[in-house]
Structure 1
């Protein structure tokens, strides 16, 4: 059946040339008017806008961005351990990914997400290939080859990261030392005297070292000697916590409370000690760090130091946009807060 003129008009995409004809101006005037060019008079701009509305004209944002040399997209790379099943990724990183995507959207950007774990899939040339205007890298410091790869990118690359193993990278991270000190003070006020840290002072996870340093400093400030029960490298976090708690319980080292450098380590320790018959929080208090959702559902619920996820995502995006604008790099710390639940005394 032949199409009517009206039907044909409806299925034909309206172009800027159609708007120009409707408004009685040139096509270039339409483009400049809709882009906010101040050289276009206000009456002409309004005439173009009215013509575009009558024709239901939609600006091709992708084409407009490409003309400006921009994609309107930010790349987010999630670094995993080599061979790690994506469902086993630390839930902290998924929460951070969500807040980062929300912050990018609020600034008018779309997000391209990539999970990378080995040399076969390391890739950070989003700007060069015009796939994104900048890149945010989030993930574990323990994947050394990944950070070596990203550290060798063109110095002109606009990027920022969370989880980098050193300050040589453009970073945003939690206020780890302040958070650890907050945990120690909380436990001391609750009457705990012998606080042991489950963590590592030599971990490639920069945040773990900072959290241990904050714990140790707060203990010394309180006139107490810090005690470190080291976690084993290369294991899932909960298993690290379980094994460290078991080793502590069997060591003869007196303790009545634990500060774990991550919530997952704390949850592993909590399960192990509860299984050995320790009363939590009456006999043993436990505080984690990160504020992952699973901690709210443990038995008892886990007291934790929580990063402000919304601020973390916003700072990652803000620092990246600042780099894209040519502003000087400024490391940024994300504030933390104490979330008191059932694993410490009321």
Structure 2
């Protein structure tokens, strides 16, 4: 992009939220002034098949117009663009792109995709806000923004309905105590920052990893077919495609990505593994209960036909299956439901 074209692109505020985020987003919209000199882009984790009414909620709550982003929209100051369900919101220079790229942390749209692509495109003229949400989504995005010279804030964990996302983002990006604010105080902080922005930059160096990850979200075949993996072998499998995961070490943050772009934070990977394990246990329990029913029926039939030895053998198998089924039921009951949070995943 030319220097003249860059100067026409407004500063960008990227906002990410998940569980409990609607209330926080509404409070944020309420405090943003109608002459805000920045474009606002929002990702709220929603189910892929759901219907989002978030733009209407934000438009009613505040003074800025809000709508779902459309592919190719130009960034405009004083406008809120919301990622639609099942589409990543990607920033490319002064426009947005909607893609069905690989999910990140089980989500599409994903907070990290938006933050990373905006940081890659606009550098220090990006401000990131991480609001209420479970697990550690947004941490990688906050790191990307700060790596490129942008600034981040997180919702005060004491205020957030779900404090995991703000805490994880603050820790990963090294924000310190001053990086957490009440949502109602964020607009004033943003206006102060927007009054002290660096001029638009010319072409600059973006890390190869950030370039590659942003391209993956945009389903770029060059990135997906690159023989060089995005990190070092982690020894884990990807829950979405069963491919090998590679570990990406960013100092305070370690995360995982497979060759085709599915990305996982540690907590999200653990949560999805817990969901998968519970599903496998239920299948095992179903097989064992069916085995109990079948061996009981066969034992009864053999006894009725005057074959006591065969009936005894089937009875032994039934008791063994019952014992195994009891163990599996105990394992299912012992799974910490707070870890799995299946509602946190869009698929």
- TM-score, with structure 1 as normaliser: 0.26
